[in-house]
Amino acid sequence: MNDNSNRDDKLDIETKVVHGGKYYDPYTGAISFPIYQSATFRHLSQDSGYDYSRQQNPTREELENTIANLENGKFGFSFSTGMAAISTVLTLFSPNQHIIVSDDLYGGTYRIFEEIYSRYGIEFSYIDTSKTYEVEKSFKKNTAAVFIETPSNPTMKVSDISAIAEIAQSQQALMIVDNTFLTPYYQRPLELGADIVVHSGTKYLGGHNDTLAGFIVVNNETLSHRLKLIQKSEGAVLAPFDSWLLLRGIKTLGVRLKKQEENALKVAKWLKGHSKINKVYYIGLPEHEAFEISRKQATGFGAMISFTVENTEIAQQVLRKVRMIIFAESLGGVESLITHPMTQTHSDIPKLIRERLGVNDRLLRLSVGIENVDDIINDLKQALE
Ligand SMILES: *Cc1c(COP(=O)(O)O)cnc(C)c1O
């Protein structure tokens, strides 16, 4: 397919999210990019670039170009889930290589590292990557990568992307950033020196709690060839319809995130003033330890809030009593969701690590949606009574 020759590459991210990779289907002019629901393609006299959808599919390709465009990267890859994307990145490494990982991490990422990839001889160290000197100290002769999640899940620690990228580069290690929480709308790790960005597209990028998806974006051509080989060999690719759902979701990423962030700041301030709340973790509060570094490397704070309540009973009561806010896993969608990380998203993380991080039975995590903010606050208020 020909690239759109009129394309303006200097557009703001607010505009880029609306128009995607090619703006429209070059064959038909369709504004809503078509769902090419085909497993295979006729061999034409001239190579069209499409043979079989595990290798490439036009709808998926449009999405892959879109995410690359948003992250300001050259090559995008989409997968059936965020975990499939992370798993693909891990297959870049070999036995006896060592990876430094953020200790405050999505539970599924911890699980795939420890339960699966450690069996193939890859070694992981979990450290507080929000302290750059800890990262520096943790390098070993065989360190091949640093994998960070920032802001982290669920205690909202922020790691200095450019400082860590510089250290990684000096040690010939790859710098990998899970950018799920802020998305390229607010944070673009490749611009800050990272080598690989991964995403759970299930969250803010999709934005509607209706489909699973994952992404990888890189700038380096050699890396991209390897990733393409793994993607087409393993086949955990995103289906055409799901690719379309993501393309559609991304169009409103900007307006959704802005509204969610605006709501989140109000909710976080309200939570802080509540007598039954002990601690509020929201990076957009000026007193949060990561406020300054967040302002340096991102253009927004996102809409994820964690908080601890006075005791276990109150935590359980909130989960039981919320009416509009839904007690459910996941995050980033238009609906406000509340979870109990200790028993849900982070149940696979050992108790010792969990307790050090503050992931206890009193911690709740709120993904703030786009609803009317007073309705969100009033729901929390009655649930806490
Ligand atoms: C959800 C999530 C993942 C995993 O993505 P799936 O799409 O659920 O497979 C990875 N990282 C973070 C930060 C997440 O929130």
Q: Give the integer Cα–Cα distance in Å for 309 and 18.
A: 39
pLDDT one-digit tens code per residue, 162-175: 999 999 999 999 99
Average pLDDT over residues 35-57: 93
Q: DSSP states of 207-264 as a string?
A: -SSS---EEEEE--HHHHHHHHHHHHHH--BPPHHHHHHHHHHHHTHHHHHHHHHHHH
Length reported for the chain: 385
User: Mind listing the domains of the chain with CATH numbers?
Assistant: 13-251 (3.40.640.10), 255-384 (3.90.1150.10)
What pLDDT was estimated at residue 146? 98
Average pLDDT, the chain: 95
Average pLDDT over residues 334-358: 88
Q: Give the integer Cα–Cα distance in Å for 276 and 313.
A: 11
In three-state secondary structure terms, 8 is coil
The answer to whether 37 touches 58, Cβ cutoff 8 Å, is no
Average pLDDT over residues 287-315: 95
Q: Is the pLDDT of residue 354 over 50?
A: yes
Nearest to 217 by CA among 54, 78, 17: 78
Q: If pLDDT is split at 50, 70 and 90, which confidence band does 108 have?
A: very high
Q: Is 103 in the pocket of ligand 1 (CB under 6 A)?
A: no
Q: Is 152 in the pocket of ligand 1 (CB under 6 A)?
A: no
Catalytic residues: 54, 106, 178, 203
Q: If pLDDT is split at 50, 70 and 90, which confidence band does 1 have?
A: very low
Q: If pLDDT is split at 50, 70 and 90, which confidence band does 353 have?
A: confident
For 273-311, where are the alpha helices, taking DSSP H only?
A: 291-297
Ligand 1 mutation target, pool 202, 237, 345, most atoms within 8 A of CB = 202
Nearest to 371 by CA among 284, 267, 277: 267
The answer to whether 124 touches 154, Cβ cutoff 8 Å, is no
Atom of ligand 1 at shortest range from CA of 180: 13
Ligand 1 mutation target, pool 153, 159, 200, most atoms within 8 A of CB = 200
What pLDDT was estimated at residue 6? 61
pLDDT one-digit tens code per residue, 195-213: 999 999 999 999 999 999 9
Q: Is the pLDDT of residue 374 over 70?
A: yes
Task: HSE, CB side, 13 Å, CA atoms: give it for residue 311.
Answer: 1
Q: Is 199 in the pocket of ligand 1 (CB under 6 A)?
A: no
Neighbours of 58 (CB within 10 A): 24
Q: Give the integer Cα–Cα distance in Å for 352 and 334.
A: 34
Q: Is 80 in the pocket of ligand 1 (CB under 6 A)?
A: no
Average pLDDT over residues 376-384: 98
Beta-strand pair 143-149/98-102: parallel
Q: Apex CA 257: angle with CA 384 and CA 148, to 5°?
A: 90
Distance (Å) from CA 108 to ligand 1 centroid: 7
Share of the chain above pLDDT 70, in %: 98
Q: Is the pLDDT of residue 2 over 50?
A: no
What pLDDT was estimated at residue 356? 85
Q: Is 83 in the pocket of ligand 1 (CB under 6 A)?
A: yes
Q: Is the pLDDT of residue 3 over 90?
A: no
